[in-house]
Structure 1
Amino acid sequence: MDSNINDFPIQNAIKENNINLAKQLILENPKNLYIKDLDDRTPLHWAVSINNTELVKFIIDLKPEVNIDEYVDLSGWSPLHISSSLGNIEILNLFMNMSNPPDINSKTNLGITPLHLSISKNHLSYVRTLINEYGANYKIKDKKGYTPLIRASSIGSIPIVQELLAQKNISVNATDNDGWTSLHHALAEGHGDCAVYLVEKGGVDFNLTNNEDLKPIQVSVDEKVAKYFKDHVDYKIKEIE
């Protein structure tokens, strides 16, 4: 007989924010603590999703030895990935202090790490904690070839770009699967100030071309951004026409 939504009362209670009921059901049915619903999400996934730190602690305290990397949903997201998307450092610390802490560089089905996710959502403090406290790898590419620096540049976050550029041996001119550098992405998304920062502080090469033989300035979102970049970069930009 196929499963249906009524087969997952713990998950349903959490999604409805009925925390007392969820705790009661967990204590009555501890074997169901890590059972997966139709989306392959466990009660811990949902506790993280509603950003309830206290409930997350309640769940992991019952089985602190569990390897949460083994519990991923249909998209390959573990509870750590959800936490990283939300930027909840308290939950991150709870996970990393488990007796069997998760892999800080674990990947989703799309090759996305917790660092990628926290950067995409502009969670600066979380990013710093991942890198400086837990040693997250800031060079990993996802399946599109995006590095953390490329993701930070695409959202125009100078503070996160600054944090990444401060790391040892970071490849400032790394390219994605289409040959785009972080500078291509910054200009294409209209982040002229971030693009200038990448060149002046990061030493990113503004003459590198992508797979279509286009330089970063040539993929600028509009002429205003291109002009801003030309006017503020303290280098002689070669004529590209």
Structure 2
Amino acid sequence: MDFTECYGDSVSSVAAAARSGCRKRVRRLIKRGFSVDCRDNRGWNALHEAAAAGSKECVQDILAAGGSSRGCSAYVNSLTHEGESACHLAAQRGHLAVVRLLLKAHSNINQLTNDLSCPLYAAVDGGYKEVVELLLCKGAEVNRTHTASCWTCLHQAVYKGHSEIVRILANVCNLEVLDDHKISPLFVAAQYGQQECLEILVNAGANVSTQAADLATPLLIASQEGHQACVDYLLDHGADPNVACSHEWPQLPIHAAAEFGHISVLRRLIAVTDRACDRGDGMVSPLYVAIHSHQSKSVEMLLREGFSPDAQDCTHILGIRSPLSFALCRTSSKPYSESVGLLVAAGASLSEEDWIYALATDETDLLQLILKHRWIPRPETLTRDCSVPHHHGKTVLKLQEVRELLCVALNQVHFAARWLPLLLKAGLEPSLLLQPHMLEQADSEVLNYLLEFVNWSNLSPPLKHILDRRRTEKTWEPCPHFDSVPCLSHMCRLQVRSVLGPDLLMRTDVVQQLPVPSLLHDFLQFRDIPEASYTHSPPSPLSNRLQGYRSTHEHRHVL
């Protein structure tokens, strides 16, 4: 329905003339006896049309005619079907002279519409400063709540960014007035990045540490929305970055900045936030929320600024054990997320469950990533418990990490064709894998590959018994030379590895420094041994493998 269309009879004639602002026609129609009080399908009469059009002269003439028929006060306060008075319509459109005239005619200055607006709220919403000043001068109520969310005129002025009106209202309004969510006007300024309005309110004495019903502070919401200038101003004027802003867990502004990837805001908050949030019990590291929202830039900055890649165990708060485990389970596709790489590079501790992601699969990207940044130490170094934190620029695996690596590896023998070459080339001592379970379960090619790295002639009797049984059962087809004593060249390279250590031999250029022909370098590093081929069918979903591992795996003590 087109509400702007006028009827073609005498009912709308005066209204149509008033809408066009034609005073002569309005006067002529009134003189001829046409009514000024007839309404259209919106409930609008001629006065409403004249006020909305901003025609002061038409309003004067219509008021004179309407007042003579119904009484001036009753006519000037007549309402549309939406509850709008002529004064509201004029204020809504910034018609200062018309508003002044209507108030002089005793228009109700605080008349509410059906949606709880009023002339002052309408003028504030439109940014009409002079109309606002007039209405305030005439006694308009300033702290009344409007709209379904209980906003006041000050809330709306701040939201719209009408700083000059905010400056006026700040002198007469309750600065701490709250809406239905206990949000103050200052909170609104922080939320919508209205920096000038924020400064006006702070200078007028508004509380920078006010908290909404959900405990959110202006600093939290400004950090969440990425309003750098507002964040800086709030911090410079006493806002506390360490106030808990959630009923569920101690969320801080730094969490909001990290979650939404506002790097400049995050940088400022890192400098002023108590580091207890990093590792403290009952706290939650901002790394968790950055990982949750896939904000790798936030993860990178937090780690660079010294936040622990291990953080605290948040199992009881969020059901999350560590940032790395969370990042791994948040990875929906390969290759693994940038956050996983950042955490591994930063030295995040690896648990059994993390090793499952790396070993219980036919993909090797995660294991390669780990080995790129982590150093597998020699067994004697681990058992002496004298490992160093870094080696050749890489973080050294701790004793517990190596134990859990081996435990998972020996429970994932069916994927050994994928992970075994990588681990041995990364310097893992192969004798650690010479366990009964490995020899019983490994494929023939995998078993042969492993035996090529050791002196197969001096295996322990129990292990030899397993091999003999598998040979008899024809589940293992050994390489022909396994029936012979290892040749002298093989014994020599085993001795070289024993002296240098498998880590240095396999991962550095130390072999190039030995006084031997260069043609022997690959041989000394066991590169002549062909890898086993992987022939298994596609694995089951990782979630199923994780659940199966938790319910069936055995701890195999090999160190």
- Structure 1 and Structure 2 fold alike (TM over 0.5): yes
CA deviation profile, 1:174-199 (whole Å, cap 9, x unmatched): 22222211112212222122122212
Do 1:183 and 1:198's aligned partners in 2 also have CA atoms closer than 8 Å? yes
Q: Which amino acid aligns with 1:200?
A: D
Partner in structure 1 of residue 65 of structure 2? 28
CA deviation profile, 1:25-84 (whole Å, cap 9, x unmatched): 222113311111111010001001111111111111222xx5522x10012111011111
Do 1:230 and 1:237's aligned partners in 2 also have CA atoms closer than 8 Å? no
Q: Aligned pair 1:39/2:82, yes or no? A: yes
Partner in structure 1 of residue 97 of structure 2? 54
Any idea what SS the aligned residue of 1:5 has? coil
Do 2:176 and 2:185's aligned partners in 1 also have CA atoms closer than 8 Å? yes
**Identity of counterpart residues, as a percentage?**
19
Cα drift, residue 8 of structure 1: 2.4
Distance 2:195 2:63 in 1: 44
Do 1:153 and 1:183's aligned partners in 2 also have CA atoms closer than 8 Å? yes
**Residues 184 and 156 of structure 1: is their aligned pair in 2 closer, same or farther, counting only changes over 3 Å?**
same
Query: Pairwise CA RMSD of aligned residues?
Result: 2.3
Indicate the larger mover: 49-58 or 108-117: 108-117
**Residues 7 and 95 of structure 1: is their aligned pair in 2 closer, same or farther, counting only changes over 3 Å?**
closer
**Residues 22 and 175 of structure 1: is their aligned pair in 2 closer, same or farther, counting only changes over 3 Å?**
same
Cα drift, residue 162 of structure 1: 1.6
Do 2:143 and 2:152's aligned partners in 1 also have CA atoms closer than 8 Å? yes
Gaps of 5+ in 2: 1-38, 67-71, 279-284, 288-559
Q: Aligned pair 1:178/2:214, yes or no? A: yes
Distance 1:14 1:56 in 2: 8
Q: Which amino acid aligns with 2:223?
A: L
Give the TM-score normalised by the residue count of structure 2: 0.39
Q: Which amino acid aligns with 2:132?
A: L
Distance 2:214 2:93 in 1: 36
* Higher relative helix content: 2
Within-5 A mapping of 1:69-148: 69=110, 71-98=111-138, 101-109=139-147, 110-132=149-171, 135-148=172-185
Gaps of 5+ in 1: none
Any idea what SS the aligned residue of 1:90 has? helix
Distance 1:18 1:6 in 2: 19
Cα drift, residue 151 of structure 1: 0.6
**Residues 203 and 178 of structure 1: is their aligned pair in 2 closer, same or farther, counting only changes over 3 Å?**
closer
Do 2:219 and 2:234's aligned partners in 1 also have CA atoms closer than 8 Å? yes
Distance 1:54 1:12 in 2: 15
Structure number with larger C-alpha Rg: 2
Any idea what SS the aligned residue of 1:142 has? coil
Distance 1:7 1:164 in 2: 39
**Residues 174 and 211 of structure 1: is their aligned pair in 2 closer, same or farther, counting only changes over 3 Å?**
same
Any idea what SS the aligned residue of 1:128 has? helix
Partner in structure 1 of residue 10 of structure 2? none
**Residues 36 and 188 of structure 1: is their aligned pair in 2 closer, same or farther, counting only changes over 3 Å?**
same
Alignment coverage as a number of residue pairs: 230
Cα drift, residue 208 of structure 1: 2.1
Partner in structure 2 of residue 205 of structure 1? 241
Within-5 A mapping of 1:207-222: 207-213=243-249, 214-220=251-257, 222=260
Partner in structure 2 of residue 14 of structure 1? 51
